[in-house]
Amino acid sequence: MFFYVFKGDGTTLYSPEFGRGGLAALFGMNILQVLNSPTLTIGIEGRNSDQTTFSNIGTFSAITTNGLKTSDQGGLPEILRFSFTTAGATATAGCVIEMVAPQWRPYS
Protein backbone atom coordinates (compact mmCIF):
# COMPACT_ATOMS: atom_id res chain seq x y z
CA MET A 1 0.00 0.00 0.00
CA PHE A 2 1.26 3.48 -0.77
CA PHE A 3 0.08 6.97 0.03
CA TYR A 4 0.87 10.62 -0.70
CA VAL A 5 2.10 13.16 1.86
CA PHE A 6 2.05 16.82 0.80
CA LYS A 7 3.13 19.97 2.59
CA GLY A 8 -0.30 21.59 2.29
CA ASP A 9 -0.47 24.16 5.10
CA GLY A 10 2.52 22.59 6.87
CA THR A 11 0.50 20.68 9.48
CA THR A 12 2.13 17.49 10.80
CA LEU A 13 0.15 14.38 9.83
CA TYR A 14 -0.06 11.15 11.86
CA SER A 15 -0.50 7.50 10.97
CA PRO A 16 -3.06 5.36 12.77
CA GLU A 17 -1.83 3.95 16.09
CA PHE A 18 -0.54 0.36 16.15
CA GLY A 19 0.70 -2.05 18.80
CA ARG A 20 4.33 -3.00 19.08
CA GLY A 21 5.37 -6.45 17.92
CA GLY A 22 8.62 -6.57 19.87
CA LEU A 23 10.74 -4.44 22.19
CA ALA A 24 12.87 -3.20 19.27
CA ALA A 25 12.36 -2.84 15.51
CA LEU A 26 13.83 -1.76 12.21
CA PHE A 27 11.23 0.56 10.65
CA GLY A 28 11.22 1.17 6.91
CA MET A 29 9.67 3.54 4.40
CA ASN A 30 10.14 3.15 0.66
CA ILE A 31 10.01 6.57 -1.00
CA LEU A 32 8.65 5.92 -4.49
CA GLN A 33 8.54 9.48 -5.77
CA VAL A 34 9.44 13.00 -4.61
CA LEU A 35 7.36 15.90 -5.94
CA ASN A 36 8.43 19.58 -6.07
CA SER A 37 11.61 19.25 -3.94
CA PRO A 38 10.26 18.38 -0.47
CA THR A 39 12.11 17.65 2.73
CA LEU A 40 10.17 15.01 4.64
CA THR A 41 10.75 14.29 8.31
CA ILE A 42 9.25 11.07 9.63
CA GLY A 43 9.09 10.64 13.39
CA ILE A 44 8.34 7.53 15.42
CA GLU A 45 6.20 8.29 18.47
CA GLY A 46 4.96 6.06 21.24
CA ARG A 47 3.11 5.75 24.53
CA ASN A 48 2.10 3.03 26.96
CA SER A 49 -1.57 2.08 27.37
CA ASP A 50 -1.83 3.96 30.70
CA GLN A 51 -0.59 7.22 29.11
CA THR A 52 -2.52 9.79 27.08
CA THR A 53 0.27 11.61 25.24
CA PHE A 54 2.83 10.41 22.73
CA SER A 55 6.58 10.96 23.10
CA ASN A 56 9.20 11.00 20.37
CA ILE A 57 10.99 7.63 20.12
CA GLY A 58 13.19 8.41 17.11
CA THR A 59 13.24 9.74 13.56
CA PHE A 60 14.31 8.85 10.07
CA SER A 61 17.03 11.00 8.52
CA ALA A 62 15.58 13.94 6.55
CA ILE A 63 14.20 12.56 3.28
CA THR A 64 14.78 14.36 -0.02
CA THR A 65 15.32 11.44 -2.44
CA ASN A 66 13.72 8.19 -3.58
CA GLY A 67 14.65 4.83 -2.08
CA LEU A 68 14.34 2.73 1.05
CA LYS A 69 14.82 4.66 4.30
CA THR A 70 15.19 2.95 7.69
CA SER A 71 15.28 3.78 11.38
CA ASP A 72 16.42 1.27 14.03
CA GLN A 73 14.82 1.80 17.45
CA GLY A 74 14.79 -0.07 20.77
CA GLY A 75 13.00 0.11 24.11
CA LEU A 76 9.65 0.65 22.41
CA PRO A 77 6.49 1.51 24.34
CA GLU A 78 3.23 -0.41 23.83
CA ILE A 79 1.51 1.87 21.27
CA LEU A 80 3.25 3.49 18.30
CA ARG A 81 2.50 5.87 15.43
CA PHE A 82 4.40 7.77 12.74
CA SER A 83 4.42 11.55 12.26
CA PHE A 84 4.99 13.11 8.83
CA THR A 85 6.19 16.72 8.49
CA THR A 86 6.79 18.01 4.98
CA ALA A 87 8.71 21.19 4.16
CA GLY A 88 9.06 22.74 0.73
CA ALA A 89 8.57 25.88 -1.32
CA THR A 90 5.01 25.02 -2.36
CA ALA A 91 1.96 23.35 -0.84
CA THR A 92 2.33 20.57 -3.45
CA ALA A 93 5.81 19.54 -2.27
CA GLY A 94 5.52 15.95 -1.12
CA CYS A 95 6.32 12.26 -1.45
CA VAL A 96 4.72 9.00 -2.48
CA ILE A 97 5.45 6.53 0.34
CA GLU A 98 5.16 2.78 0.64
CA MET A 99 5.21 1.66 4.27
CA VAL A 100 7.35 -1.41 4.92
CA ALA A 101 6.34 -3.80 7.71
CA PRO A 102 8.56 -3.32 10.81
CA GLN A 103 11.14 -6.02 11.50
CA TRP A 104 10.40 -6.74 15.18
CA ARG A 105 12.98 -8.25 17.55
CA PRO A 106 13.76 -8.53 21.27
CA TYR A 107 15.57 -5.57 22.79
CA SER A 108 19.21 -6.33 23.44
Q: What is the pLDDT of residues 35-82, one digit of tens each?
A: 999 999 999 999 999 999 999 999 999 999 999 999 999 999 999 999
- pTM, two decimals, is 0.94
* 60 Cβ contact list (under 8 Å, min separation 6): 27, 29, 41, 42, 43, 44, 69, 70, 71
Is CATH 2.40.50.100 what the domain over 2-105 is classified as, yes or no?
A: no
